[in-house]
Amino acid sequence: MKKITNIMSRNIVTISSDTNIKEIIHIMKEKNIGKLPVIENNKVIGVVERKSLLIKKESAPLPPVIAINDLILQLPNSKSFKERLNKLTGYLAKEIMETNFLKIDINDTLENLVTKLVEDNYTYALIFNNDSLEGIITETDLIKNIF
């Protein structure tokens, strides 16, 4: 059976706890990734996931619109819309990150990793060598490499 080290992605993009949502979105889009470990004092303290951007604090505001029959008109940006959008983009990684994440030792078995993913309902695991972040394995990585 393959080892964790054969499947994990080693090129991990991380962010600081003070990275704002605007920068997080930019990084995720540019790198085509959906999970960003958050580092503080050289330790992983959480993970920002794509879903974190959608469900934390408040949902993104929609611009004001008027619907007349089948015609939808977007109104000029209202002050409250701009204020809500600015507030949302001002959140920091430490305010939206998930602090519960699956931490797996690099020498653990792939079978144990898969069991923990399924039992604990995670979609990824961060791979560590002692306290050093070495990689990440997602469900997609597992499907590509096992089946």
For the chain, domains (ranges, CATH) are 4-56+91-146 (3.10.580.10)
pLDDT band at 19 (very low <50, low <70, confident <90, very high): very high
Is there a contact between 123 and 142 (Cβ–Cβ < 8 Å)? no
pLDDT of residue 105 exceeding 70, the answer is yes
The one-letter amino acid code at 78 reads S
pLDDT of residue 136 exceeding 60, the answer is yes
The more confidently predicted of residues 22 and 125 is: 125
Using CA atoms, how far residue 10 sits from 4, 14, 72, 98, 102, in Å, is 11, 12, 47, 21, 16
- pLDDT score at 110: 93
Rounded mean pLDDT of 118-144? 95
- CA-CA-CA-CA torsion sign (25, 30, 32, 36): negative
pLDDT of residue 134 exceeding 90, the answer is yes
pLDDT band at 146 (very low <50, low <70, confident <90, very high): confident
The one-letter amino acid code at 86 reads N
Only one residue has tokens 């939808």, namely 72
Rounded mean pLDDT of 11-20? 96
pTM (2 d.p.): 0.77
- pLDDT score at 70: 60
Length of the chain: 147
pLDDT single digits (tens) 54-94: 765 455 545 555 566 566 555 556 666 556 555 666 789 99
Give the DSSP letter of residue 107. T
